[in-house]
Structure 1
Amino acid sequence: MRMVITLKAENSIDLPIDHNHIIQSWIYSSISKELATFLHDEGFVVNGRTFKLFCFSRLMGNFSLFPARQRILYSGMVQLVITSPLNYFIEELANGMLLSPSVRLGSNDLIVERVDVYDEEITQDEIIVKTLSPITVYSTLLRMDGRKYTAYFAPRDPEYNEMITNNLIKKCQAILNSSREFQVGDVLVTPIGMGKMNIVRYKNIIIKGYSGRLKLSGPKNLLQTAIECGLGSKNSQGFGCIEIARRH
């Protein structure tokens, strides 16, 4: 399911430039304590990997950046997209918004102007998508001296397609609660254009991601997983949210 929340402020919305953790915290606080605790502390485990099975976009709206102060100032209205295959998660969020139409985001008091919830069913085995938040794909490696370091991959790197596909397969298995077998080559991720590298700081951790357009080809259930769970890693921290690119 896909949820689009429209938030309105009387004046501007003043946030740190890197505010993914603020949005994530607000999402957890907007659902029941039991569900929030389960998703945050446990999640869905597949082959030792844990998945929260939701993701969210950047805040979308007109803004001005103030790098010297590390602040971003949005005009009076913004939108946020939240996606998940867990219908009960989206329903809890929507009910919470309707019952408590005022929210606190950082130091800002906002009004929930509108909540739209809908299903987006994938009916084709090839789709064009665009990122609503950067996709991050990485691996933790060892240096010669034994120290760990994080290697981030770009859309045109040879490892990118395999790592995205492996991640998607595990998410799909978590949704289906089965060990259904897929092959790494089942999904083909083709970047359209060069894409843009984004550097995001999440709780003092530097994360690299890429935004742009991609062509996804493969089984419909894996493409559905991509639309609902996001692509790449750290989806519940605000990375990898995508939507079908509609031509106007």
Structure 2
Amino acid sequence: MQLVLNIQLEEPLVLPMNYNHIVQSIIYRALSVMPDYAEFLHQSGYTSGKRQYKMFQFGQLQGHYKMADRKFIFDTEVSLEIRSPEPLLINLLVDSFYRNGIAFGKTTYRDIYMEIYDYTIEENHIVVQMKSPLTVYSTDEFTNNTYYYNPQEEAFFDAVNSNFYRKYQAYFGIAPCSPIRISKVENENCRKFVTKYQGSYITAWFGKYDLSGQRKYLDFLYQTGLGAKNAQGFGMFELL
């Protein structure tokens, strides 16, 4: 399911350039209307081995803005899309935002127009463009150093597929019976994106990609996101 929030701003909304953690905290705060569920997602979520998945994603904020002192200043309205394969999560968000509004820091905005969609992927092959950047990485178990892959490496696409396998198994309890196939659209450049999230730098990539596989697998990725760190604002795509 997909939830699109259109927030009318009674006063300008000022956010740091690295605002993903702020949006994530808004989502968790809204889910606290059902404390047990919110705690489950925040503490563990759906697991596959040592990996934990929250099964929601959000895109970048959209709206007219200007930049000043390395901050975004949205002036009249801002929109945000949240997706999840879990209807309960979307419905809890709608209920919470309707009752309590959306608080960015000390300012609560209550003039919110919410749209709920249940769009599904019905194809076995799609061409997508990233709405929020795609990231995949590996961490050395001895040094704890993290390496972020890039689309010039075959390992980048292998890591996207491995992430899909783990995420699908974590949610459904069974492994997919076939892989997805992903490749960069020919002659299209991928734009590098680096941001800081709670003290750590994350490298990710915008771009256009070919995706193929079983329809239900592509739909699952449409709801949950491609690659890693979906619940931190990475991996949302739209169809071209």
Q: Structure 2-normalised TM-score?
A: 0.92
Contact 2:9 2:111 in 1 (8 A): no
Aligned partners of 1:218 and 1:180: how far apart in 2?
A: 11
Aligned partners of 2:195 and 2:185: how far apart in 1?
A: 21
**1:149 aligned partner, one-letter code:** N
Shift of 1:107: 4.0
Q: State the partner residue of 2:48.
A: 46
Alignment length (residue pairs): 237
Shift of 1:243: 2.0
Is there any run of 5+ residues in structure 2 with no aligned partner, and where?
Answer: none
SS at match of 1:99: helix
**1:156 aligned partner, one-letter code:** Q
Q: State the partner residue of 1:122.
A: 121
Shift of 1:8: 1.4
Aligned partners of 2:226 and 2:99: how far apart in 1?
A: 31
Aligned partners of 1:191 and 1:108: how far apart in 2?
A: 42
Q: State the partner residue of 1:72.
A: 72
Shift of 1:13: 0.9
Shift of 1:34: 1.5
Q: State the partner residue of 2:219.
A: 224
RMSD: 1.7
Q: Structure 1-normalised TM-score?
A: 0.89
Aligned partners of 2:116 and 2:14: how far apart in 1?
A: 27
Q: State the partner residue of 2:105.
A: 106
**Structure 1 residues 33 and 189 mapped into 2: Cα distance closer, same or farther (>3 Å)?**
farther
Q: State the partner residue of 2:38.
A: 36
Deviations 1:198-217 (A, max 9, x none): 11111111111111222211
SS at match of 1:115: strand
Aligned partners of 2:167 and 2:21: how far apart in 1?
A: 22
- Are 2:178 and 1:178 equivalent residues in the alignment? no
Shift of 1:111: 2.7
Contact 1:15 1:106 in 2 (8 A): no
